[in-house]
Amino acid sequence: MLELRDQVRDGRALLIGGKWLRGSGAPLTTVDPASGETNASFPTAAAAEVDLAVAVAVQAQRQAAWSALLPHQRADHLHAVSRLLLERTEPLARLVMHENGKTLTESRSQVRGAAGIFRYYAALCETLVSEVTPSRGPYLSLTQYEPQGVVAAITPWNSPVNLAAEKLAPALAAGNAVLLKPSELTPLVSLELGQLCLDAGVPPGIVNVLPGAVETASELVRHPGVQMISFTGGTKAGKAIAQAAAARFVPVVLELGGKSAQIVLEDADLALAAAGVVAGIFGSMGQSCIAGSRLLVHQSVHQPLLAMIVERARALRLGPPDSSETELGPLASFAHRDRVQAMVDEGVAAGARVLAGGGRPEGAAFARGAYFQPTVLAGLDGRASTVRNEIFGPVLCVLPFASDEEIVAAADDSDYGLACGIWTREFHRAWAVARRVRAGTVWINTYRQNSVATPFGGYKASGLGRERGVQGLRQYQQVKSVFLGASATPMSIDR
């Protein structure tokens, strides 16, 4: 049974200005997808609470309790957040497991990953330099970086602690205040992360957490006191947020959907490729924007590779997420399981052959949870909606091709451009394909390798801007140029 803090049990599940408050919005209920049991139920943030949180954040940020700290002083707090995340790994991981359905092993790994994100941005905070730009006259010119102000950070349910950290850490390192709006499916771990920031010495009002549904997010993105929006989620919602941001001329970072291709050429190490393809689509139950959900394989190795993948998919162990023997837990919600099933059924109706999985697993152990089998579909072409649309579940669509040109064309025949995997023994061939594919991340003979130090984002409908790395910090800053005159007379002519 999930242990809840007293404030949440009492219905005070908003964290504003360092205080736990009760919302006036519609009630929210979170459910454990492995058991169907209720985790918590409480009222959410409505317009009044959003107004309060924005006012508190603006005041906290302008009072110079945070933005005017020297970089190494802000870094001290970020290091403290990292240490507390490591100290509290177990309870936070269990929160993730109960809210999201991830295995306990993966949940622990994600909490440790979140600690690494804060540690990285703490280091970057106190070492990243401003620039002295080349002089073209009798002056000294400097580039300064300043915080945007108040940032609305809207996060999804699939990796709630990691994705919250990817927004909080760089935004805080840059000197901003943050209004964190978590998914309605996974609010509890974000509330704990907000309290953890307070415990690490981050001033009250700098990190505020506002659980709610679409209405809460809409209030945030349209609020005149919000000076930047950072969103991770679906492309449809991302477009609406981009329009709202454009109307107010505020910057926006969007990390959106994907329908990523795994390209296997005929000279690939097939055993390595099969392992990578299986991990790329079935890891996290396919609930990842970078899931390699389209397998584009050279027809000469199509059958042997497919046999390996099907065998591996059928052997994956589904089960309760707290079991050490479990490889895959449930999907994150019962509604999402129904959506995945509907998209698989649509593919079958369009002519797909189900080679593995295809629906809910049988047995009493799975009856109460949102479980779904690892699924492999063949026989569809690139026009099928199951091939083109993001499923966000453990469903792999297999398409054979005769040449590199056909495979690259198929990889780019998508509204998305988030990621791509390439499997081949020949470096020059891999490099040529990698340069031609329009995707924000390309893996060669590996997949789902991530680094907080490496920028991440997408082409086309997969988003705008980049998270992680130096660029991930700069997104949360304004750029200011300063000229110091070194002449007895004003200069107004460029040289």
For the annotated catalytic residues, the residue numbers are 167, 255, 289, 467
Task: Tell me the C-alpha distance between 115 and 93, whole Å.
Answer: 12
How far the first Cα of the chain sits from its last, in Å, is 70
Write the CB contacts of 420 (distance below 8 Å, at least 6 apart in sequence).
260, 261, 262, 263, 411, 434, 437, 439, 441, 442, 443
Strands in 402-476 per DSSP E: 416-417, 419-423, 441-444, 459-460, 463-464
As beta bridge partners, residue 21 has 14
Write the CB contacts of 203 (distance below 8 Å, at least 6 apart in sequence).
18, 60, 65, 66
Contact by Cβ (8 Å): 46, 216: yes
| 3-state SS, residue 88 | coil
As beta bridge partners, residue 415 has none
Q: Residue 126 corresponds to which tokens in the numbers above?
A: 């106190």
Sequential DSSP letters for 138-184: SEEEEEEEEE-SEEEEE--SSSHHHHHHHHHHHHHHTT-EEEEE--T
As beta bridge partners, residue 255 has 232, 463
Q: Residue 100 corresponds to which tokens in the numbers above?
A: 């999201």
Residue 491 identity (one-letter amino acid)? M
Task: Tell me the C-alpha distance between 466 and 459, whole Å.
Answer: 10
Task: Tell me the C-alpha distance between 233 and 165, whole Å.
Answer: 15
Task: Tell me the C-alpha distance between 275 and 257, whole Å.
Answer: 24
Task: Tell me the C-alpha distance between 258 and 233, whole Å.
Answer: 10
Choose among 343, 393, 392, 353: nearest CA to 376: 353
Task: Tell me the C-alpha distance between 119 and 123, whole Å.
Answer: 6
Residue 412 identity (one-letter amino acid)? D
Task: Tell me the C-alpha distance between 52 and 322, whole Å.
Answer: 39
Q: Is 325 exposed, middle or buried (0-12, 13-18, 19+ CB in 10 A)?
A: exposed
